[in-house]
Amino acid sequence: MHIYRCEVQLMENLFFASREVNNFFQTEAVIGNYALAYALGLCRAGYHNDSEITYAQDLEKLNEAGIYVTPGTLTEKARFTVTRFNALSDSYWYQMEQNAISVDRERIFNPRLKARATNFPQIGRLKLLSIGNKGVFYITSRNEFRVPRYIRLGKFMSKAKISAYKQNYREIRAQDVSYRNYLNPNDLPSDTQIGMFDLLNIRPTPLIRQVQLSGDFYELADVDKTLLPAGMQFYTDF
């Protein structure tokens, strides 16, 4: 097993629609491990999608290859940028219809020509993770893996820099280990016992941190002697 500690630094503001409150769209101070798997090029989503969720098919290939990516946890206090957006029409005339903008004045006189509803917001505010935020995540791989230097993340394909360090480790079994970084609880082995934890309830799967764990670990030879839970793999029984 090869283990890599990956330090990520944001080169551009990063946006995920982690939480939506009316017309305020917020990014939580975390990078999900599904997002990282796609950004690293381990999974590839189709260019066209008919509203089909393909996590199971995509992530199962990583399980077969023996590759796993943990969620990304910020290592410093999160810094945010709040901005506004306006996607309304720039035309001389427009009218707000039922969840849609109409720019055709003929629709006023013909009720059958209603504008079709749209499934995206037209005005609102975005809360993004600012440039310079730093975080860390881990990759475990059965075979040696070359971690890319730069990746694209989020709705706007924001640029991020990665510094990867291969880790020496030993396998141990321990009780009541405190793990502070984010984990995907669905991905832990079934024989790992989970104690107290802090829950971050976001989609597509909730994450936990500051968790008490008992089970098998990789003790990394880094400064902190990190105990990384062993045997994690992507949950695909959606």
pLDDT tens profile 104-138? 666 656 666 666 655 566 778 999 999 999 999 99
pLDDT tens profile 35-58? 999 999 998 876 666 677 788 888
Q: Which residues have CB under 8 Å from 202's CB, separation 6+?
A: 18, 19, 28, 30, 32
pLDDT tens profile 50-80? 677 788 888 999 999 999 999 999 999 999 9
Measured CA to CA, the distance from residue 69 to residue 110 in angstroms comes to 55
**Residue 203: pLDDT band with limits 50, 70, 90:** confident
Q: Which residues have CB under 8 Å from 154's CB, separation 6+?
A: 14, 15, 16, 27, 35
For CA atoms 73, 74, 77, 78, the dihedral sign is negative
pTM of the model: 0.85
